[in-house]
Amino acid sequence: MSEFEKYGFYLKQEEIEKFCIYLSELMFYKDKINLTSHSTEEDIVRENFLDSLTCLQAGIEFKEKKIIDIGTGAGFPGLPVKIVTNSIKLYLLESTRKKIKFLERLIDKLSLSDTYILPGRAEEFAIKENFRGSFDMALARGVANLTVLIEYGLPFLKLNGIFIAQKGRKFKEEIDLSQRAMEILGGNLLDIKNVTTGNTKEEKKLILIQKISPTPDKYPRRPGMPSKRPLF
């Protein structure tokens, strides 16, 4: 776990132990459930754990925040962020049954408090009164293009809430295509942060979008529509 210190993450012993458990569970289940494309422990640490923790380089405060991780899969980026920022209240949104079971097992093994699973789609939960407009932050990593992600994420946020999307080298194209969606859904491009997890040639960015006005009630559209007919 010395990789963490190279990139400014100095972990407590308890946090190191939790990441070791997380790594062990991923190595055991990854091929059975298709949890990660990375095959070695070193790659998982760098490209899953450290990549998730780059969210903390966004320059905004995470402590005590209510956060939703959209399309979390094996818990990325939400669970690594939770391990090192235990005070957050984290909601993991995932629709695949096998991955939900993995997350339930993992949360129990890691003894994480204030960590909840939302078993379903963003389009379903974002229209529910107790979830819509109730989060300080939303996170997403590798789920969909930015236009689609905005329709998934902004309805969950409070006014002035922040959506952080982790993107790669095509980020400029995605930002250009998402301008109409931001305008319709009440978002504004706040910042673009450069991040690195070390030994990789891929350019990585954090796209920060602030919710500056209420999202119209008709969004998100019914399940499947944001991806089939993006708001270009």
Residues 211, 133: Cα–Cα separation, whole Å: 10
Q: Which tokens go with 49? A: 């754990």
Per-residue pLDDT of the chain (232 residues; tens, 9 = 90+): 677 888 888 999 999 999 999 999 999 998 888 888 888 998 899 989 999 999 999 999 999 999 999 999 999 999 999 999 999 999 999 999 999 999 999 999 999 999 999 999 999 999 999 999 999 999 999 789 999 999 999 999 999 999 999 998 889 999 999 999 999 999 999 999 999 766 556 678 999 999 999 999 999 999 999 999 999 8
Q: What's the one-letter identity of residue 192?
A: I
Q: Which residues contact 178 (CB under 8 A, 6 or more apart)?
A: 145, 146, 147, 150
Q: Answer whether the bond into residue 119 is a cis peptide, omega within 30°.
A: no
Q: What is the pLDDT of residue 33?
A: 87
Q: Determine whether 97 is exposed, middle or buried from the number of CB atoms within 10 Å of its CB (0-12, 13-18, 19+).
A: exposed
Going along the chain from its start, the domains and CATH numbers come out as: 3-228 (3.40.50.150)
pLDDT of 198 reads: 60
Pairing of strands 115-119, 135-141: unpaired
Q: How many other C-beta atoms lie within 10 A of the C-beta of residue 17?
A: 14
- pTM, entire model: 0.95
Contacts of 107 (CB under 8 A, 6+ apart): 79, 115, 117
* Whether 182 contacts 209, CB under 8 Å: yes
